[in-house]
Amino acid sequence: MCATCGCGHSHEGHSHQHETLTLEQKVLAKNDALAERNRAFLAERKIRAMNLMSSPGAGKTTLLERTIADLGDRPIAVVEGDQATRLDAERIGRTGCSVVQVNTGAGCHLDAAMLRDAVDALDPPEGCLLFVENVGNLVCPALFDLGEDGKVVIISVTEGTDKPLKYPYMFASADLVLVNKLDLLPYVDFDLGACREHVASVNPRAEVVAVSATRGDNLDSWYEWLSIN
């Protein structure tokens, strides 16, 4: 069970299920109210926040490192979410970018309160681009609005073509789906066309862009999306 949101439903009885559902509704309602405050706070400062979500190992941190390097003329700040360690924040810090680490412990996602605390600690400049690297998880992060401007779901070609069908709520929440590690496509069993169709079946409005964060394939399309969203 997620220690933060109680998302692990129990099947021990109707009464217990009802109590769990009521608790989750209260948690989500409180989070949504905080998220709206975050949204107003960030908009007032012309800070655009992008929530990056993926399973562990999809390449979020590598993508951020490359993005920071390539968009060096833009003010960028990063919030790193992880259950433990500062490893990813240290990687981002070596780029010279302003970064703060949020460790969630047993929690499997960031929430609106965590983001506000992180933003207060970062004190990002007006007009900056704020990336939020969420905890590696394709379930709970989709449930929690942070007050962000865009939700970006990252998958890699090593994960399997059917990810959008297995985790429909996550992909339904996405504004953009980045299919990463395109450089490995010749060596794995992944059907990019079928993956696009699966995304469209759960979220017709989401754009799908295939990239390689390490080799640089198609990153201009990612940067163009950032510039207009």
Residue 60 lies in a domain: yes
Residue whose C-alpha is closest to residue 211's, from 187, 177, 188, 186: 177
* Domain tally, the chain: 1
Residue 7 lies in a domain: no
Residue 37 lies in a domain: yes
pLDDT digit string, tens, across residues 196-222: 999 999 999 999 999 999 999 999 999
Residue 94 lies in a domain: yes
Q: What is the crossing angle of helices 60-70 and 219-228, to 10°?
A: 80
Q: How confident is the model at residue 175 (pLDDT cuts 50, 70, 90)?
A: very high
Residue whose C-alpha is closest to residue 159's, from 91, 59, 83: 59
Read out DSSP for 150-177?
EEEEEEETTS-TTHHHHSHHHHHT-SEE
The CATH number of the domain holding residue 128 is: 3.40.50.300
Residue 195 lies in a domain: yes
What percent of the residues of the chain are helix, what percent strand, and what percent coil, each to the nearest 5?
45, 20, 40
Residue 3 lies in a domain: no
Q: Considering the entire predicted model, what is its pTM?
A: 0.90
Residue 8 lies in a domain: no
List strand residue ranges (DSSP E) for 73-160, in order. 76-82, 98-103, 129-133, 150-156
pLDDT of residue 25: 82
Percentage of the chain exceeding pLDDT 90: 82
pLDDT digit string, tens, across residues 87-132: 889 999 999 999 999 999 888 999 999 999 999 999 999 999 999 9
Q: Which residues pair with 78 in a beta bridge?
A: 99, 131
Question: If DSSP codes are grouped into helix, strand and coil, which group holds residue 209?
Answer: strand
pLDDT at 10 over 50: no
Q: Which domain holds residue 45?
A: 14-228
Residue 2 lies in a domain: no
